[in-house]
Amino acid sequence: MRVREQTVSMTKPTGDPNGSMTWQDPTVPNGPFTIGGRLHSVRYALRGLALMLKSQHNAWLHAFASFCILVMGLVCGLSAGDWCWVILAIMAVWTAEALNTALEFLADAASPEFHPLIKKAKDVAAGGVLISAMGSVLIGLLVIGPHLLSLLGRLL
């Protein structure tokens, strides 16, 4: 089976009044650093996070789990060091989910029809999210577990 070849430039598009798209040379600087440009970058990033939450069911599970862990951390009175571990674990899962979502969007754009290599790439990316989530659960058990056991011991 022959796979169709595509070449895609990963640079910023510019449009002309006729609606056609041209691509900027990636070796040419984007222009000066501006606060407005950075604010646009933050706006694009927030738009991406919103898109991930709208389109990915697992992102809602991550949001719920993150909320629960943060509440448990507050209830348990975690130390600054413990908070660092918890925040790092939450960040790792969200980062893995965002990269997985981006890969899925790119894969669907590159090959809208089923392709076994695209399926493999998506499965590997999903496996990365699973590894991150499992590691975060272990961190949560190690950091919050003793606090919860102590809290339960005082209540009983």
* 77-98 per-position pLDDT tens digit: 999 999 999 999 999 999 999 9
Q: Residue 152 pLDDT > 60, yes or no?
A: yes
- The whole-number pLDDT of residue 16 equals 56
Mean pLDDT of 136-146: 96
Query: Where exactly are the structural domains of the chain?
Result: 57-156
Query: How far is 47 from 76, CA to CA, in rounded Å?
Result: 34
Q: Residue 11 pLDDT > 60, yes or no?
A: no
Does 57-156 carry CATH code 1.10.287.3610? yes
Contacts 24+ apart (CB under 8 A), 105-114: 110/6, 110/8
Catalytic residues, which ones? 97
Q: Would you give the distance in Å from CA 87 to the centre of its chain? A: 14
CA-to-CA separations, 52 to 10, 74, 91, 101, 103, in angstroms, rounded: 21, 27, 15, 7, 12
Q: Residue 1 pLDDT > 70, yes or no?
A: no
Whether this model's pTM surpasses 0.75: yes
Q: Residue 8 pLDDT > 80, yes or no?
A: no
- The whole-number pLDDT of residue 3 equals 47
